[in-house]
Amino acid sequence: MPTTTASSVRVSIMSSPATEAGAHAEAWRFIAMALAEPAADSMELLSEQPYQPEWLTPALGELATVALDAWQGEHTRLFTFPARCPPFASPFLEDGVLDGHRAGELERFYGQFELAIQGLPADYLGTMAEFIGFFLDKDDAPAAADFYREYLADWLERFCDCLEGHAEFTFYRELAGEIRRQAEGLRP
pLDDT at 20: 77
Mean pLDDT, rounded, of the chain: 89
- pLDDT tens for residues 64-120? 999 999 999 999 999 997 899 999 999 999 988 889 999 999 999 999 988 888 888
> CA 60 → CA 4, 6, 35, 87, distances in Å?
32, 26, 14, 21
